[in-house]
A = this chain, B = another copy of it.
Amino acid sequence: MGLSGRKEKILQAVVDGYINSCEPISSAEIKERHLPALSTATIRNELAALEEMGYLVQPHTSAGRIPTAEAYRLYVERLMPKRKLTRSELKTVKRYFNRKITELDDILKSTAKVISEITNLTSVAYAQDINDAVIQNIKIVKLTDTTALVIIVTSLGILKDATLSLGANVDDEYCRTTGEFMTSVLANRSVSEVIKPNHFIKQVKKEYAQVFKTVLKILKSYSHEEMISDIVLEGSAKILEQPEYANLQKAKAMLELLDAKEELVPVLKNNDDMNLSIKIGKDNEIREGMPECAIVTASYSVNGVNIGQAGVIGPIRMDYPKVISVLDYIGKTINMLPEHAGETYAGDESRSEDELRDDEE
């Protein structure tokens, strides 16, 4: 059932006002700032109707109205005004991304930092799950007498090296051929495909079986483990600036959640194909006794490859127009980054391309 134009206007006024002040909005306030033509009594009647419909509540009889989670949902969907970033906000974003960005990790950190700085909220960023990555190349490098390094190049960048022990009778040559063999079998397949049990095991000569198993184990550990290190939080302290967490109990509950970042993964995750995800209130009941919150995240990609999600976590009463415009602009900025991060060591400024070329002077 739709709302009359006037009801919409009034509801928007309440949400807007409450986002700004975090205080119940009275009929007089709405009259002054939005609808001077109407009397407060009329507005009160409409407010009562909106309350009846479940969009507003009163903290107590003699107070103004505050929006329900339902009202916020409607707000972000239809009522919300559009907003552009101010010049100084744009400048802030540029400042962060003009720095040398060398690895995927750096993008995560910069993104989280800039989001937190502009929105004044706690921000969270996390790297795309490795499952969707496509294996491109596998190398095994002998490092010391007893250890070797496994390097797995994927479409999402280099898989963090994992080292393994080795027996005495292994030489560089063996490592090289083993790597080549592994590449020939696994290249151009996704991680999720490769780690299916017993999928490839028949094709593998006995000679390579052991190391093959180890590499699969490594891949599995990367795809299954909660990859804590790939979740970046910034500005946890900012949660305390929000009046809704002024209560120590609630503040603590939120901070404990942020401490246990892994628990955020499921919430961030089920957003894979959506560009923008807004979860309000009970959508994110991550743990018991948790105070209400809202989580807004966006998907980011470079060169068409999805690299992860980033967004904010804060009170339901957050400045959605601002948050959304920030996330949107950052998405565009990341997309324009000069090179795929995670593959290039940028040296300082210039001619890193030449650095390994034979010097022909």
Contact = CB atoms under 8 A, between A and B. Distances in A.
Interface of A: 102, 105, 109, 136-137, 139-141, 143-144, 147-151, 153, 158, 161-170, 174-175, 178, 206-207, 209-211, 213-214, 217-218, 228-229, 234-237, 240-241, 246, 248, 251-252, 255-256, 258-259, 342-345, 347-348, 352-359, 361
Nearest to A153: B143
Contact of A206 (B141, B210, B359): B359
6 contacts: A105-B229, A158-B163, A164-B345, A166-B353, A167-B356, A211-B356
Contacts of A258: 236-237
Given A236-B255, A241-B252, A166 B355 contact: yes
A231 to B, nearest CB: 12
A141 to B, nearest CB: 5
Contacts of A207: 358-359
B166 A357 contact: yes
Nearest to A234: B259
Contacts of A359: 206-207, 209-210
Contacts of A102: 162-163
A144 B138 CA distance: 10
A251 B210 CA distance: 53
A214 B255 contact: no
Contacts of A162: 102, 345
A150 B345 CA distance: 10
Nearest to A174: B358
Given A137-B143, A143-B153, A164 B236 contact: no
A240 B239 CA distance: 13
Closest 5 CB pairs of A and B: A167-B357, A166-B356, A237-B255, A237-B256, A164-B345
Given A170-B357, A359-B210, A259 B235 contact: yes
A294 B259 CA distance: 21
Contacts of A136: 144
A237 B254 CA distance: 8
